Amino acid sequence: MIEAMNLSKYFNTTLSLEGVSLSIAQGEKVAILGPNGAGKTTLMRLMLGLYAPTSGHLRIHGFDPFKERSQSVAHISFVPQLSPPIRLSVEALCAYAHQTAKTDIERVATITQRMGMDLAPVRHKAFYTLSGGMRQKLMIALAFARHSPIILLDEPSSNIDPAARRVLIELLEALDGSQTVLMISHRLEELSGIIRRAVTMDLGRIVDDRAL
Per-residue pLDDT tens digits for 159-205 = 899 999 999 999 999 998 899 999 998 778 778 889 999 999 999 99
Among 119-123, 151-155, 191-195, whose mean pLDDT is lowest? 191-195
How much is the pLDDT for 87? Answer: 96
DSSP state for residue 53 in the 8-state scheme: -
Whether pTM exceeds 0.85 = yes
Q: Is 72 in contact with 49 (CB distance < 8 Å)?
A: yes
pLDDT average, residue stretch 127-150 = 96
Q: What are the start-end ranges of the H helices in 48-173? A: 69-73, 90-101, 105-114, 132-144, 162-173
Topology at the third CATH level for domain 2-86+149-211? Rossmann fold (3.40.50)
Q: How many residues does the chain have?
A: 212
How much is the pLDDT for 188? Answer: 80
pLDDT band at 1 (very low <50, low <70, confident <90, very high): confident
pLDDT average, residue stretch 28-38 = 94
Q: At what angle do helices 162-173 and 105-114 cross, to 10 degrees?
A: 130
**Which residues on neighbouring strands pair with residue 150, listed in sequence order?**
76, 180
pLDDT average, residue stretch 37-51 = 95
DSSP state for residue 89 in the 8-state scheme: B
Tell me whether strands 197-202 and 205-211 are parallel, antiparallel or unpaired: antiparallel
